[in-house]
Amino acid sequence: MDIDHVSHANLAPSPRLFKAGAPLTGRIRVPGDKSISHRSLMFGALASGETRVRGLLEGEDVMATGRALTAMGAHITTRATAEGEEYLVRGTGVGALMQPETALDMGNSGTSTRLLMGLVASHAITATFIGDASLSKRPMGRVIDPLTLMGAEFTATPGAKGAQTLPLTMRGAYPAVPIEYRLPVASAQVKSAVLLAGLNTPGITRVIEPVATRDHTERMLTGFGAELEVEEVDGERIISIRGEAELIAQDITVPGDPSSAAFFVVAALLVEGSDLIIENVGLNPTRAALFTVLRQMGGSIEELGRREIGGEPVADLRVRHSQLTGVEVDPALAPAMIDEFPVLFVAASLAKGRTVTTGLEELRVKESDRLNAMAEALTSAGATIEEREDGLIITGTGGEPLRGTANSHVTTHLDHRIAMSMAVAGLASKDGVDIDDISPIATSFPNFMALLEQAQEADTAE
> What is d(CA 124, CA 122) in angstroms, rounded to the nearest whole number?
7
- Give the single-character DSSP code of 49: S
Specify the DSSP element, H or E, that contains 40.
Answer: helix 34-46
> What is d(CA 241, CA 226) in angstroms, rounded to the nearest whole number?
7
Q: Was 187 annotated as part of a binding site?
A: yes
> What is d(CA 191, CA 313) in angstroms, rounded to the nearest whole number?
22
- Looking at 316, 339, 415, 431, which residue is catalytic? 339
Active site residue 132: no
Quick count: other Cβ atoms within 10 Å of Cβ 245?
21
Length of the chain: 462
Q: Was 138 annotated as part of a binding site?
A: yes
> What is d(CA 451, CA 431) in angstroms, rounded to the nearest whole number?
22
Check: CB of residue 204 under 8 Å from CB of residue 243. Answer: yes
Query: Could you please report the per-residue DSSP string of 133-201?
Result: TTGGGS--HHHHHHHHHTT-EEEEEE-GGG-EEEEEEEE--SSPPP-EEE-SS--HHHHHHHHHHHHTS
At 358 the three-state DSSP class reads: coil
Burial 32-45 (b: 16+ CB within 10 A, else e): bbbbbbbbbbbbbb
Burial 354-382 (b: 16+ CB within 10 A, else e): bbbbbbbebbebbbbbbbebbbbbbebbb
Q: Was 61 annotated as part of a binding site?
A: no
Q: Was 34 annotated as part of a binding site?
A: yes
Q: Was 364 annotated as part of a binding site?
A: no
Q: Was 370 annotated as part of a binding site?
A: yes
Check: CB of residue 393 under 8 Å from CB of residue 365. Answer: no
Burial 396-418 (b: 16+ CB within 10 A, else e): bbebebbebbeeebbbbbbbbbb
> What is d(CA 319, CA 317) in angstroms, rounded to the nearest whole number?
6
> What is d(CA 235, CA 387) in angstroms, rounded to the nearest whole number?
31
Quick count: other Cβ atoms within 10 Å of Cβ 271?
23
Q: Answer positive or negative: Cα dihedral of 129, 51, 445, 305.
A: negative
> What is d(CA 181, CA 174) in angstroms, rounded to the nearest whole number?
19
Q: Was 35 annotated as part of a binding site?
A: yes
Which residues have a Cβ under 8 Å from the Cβ of 340 and sit 6 or more positions away?
Answer: 258, 259, 262, 289, 290
Cis peptide before 167 (omega within 30 of 0): yes
Q: Cite the annotated binding site by residue number.
A: 34-35, 39, 110, 138, 187, 189, 339, 366, 370, 417
Instruction: Please identify every residue annotated as catalytic.
Output: 339
Residue ranges of the binding site for 3-phosphoshikimate: 34-35, 39, 187, 189, 339, 366
User: Which residues make up each annotated binding site for phosphoenolpyruvate?
Assistant: 34, 110, 138, 189, 370, 417
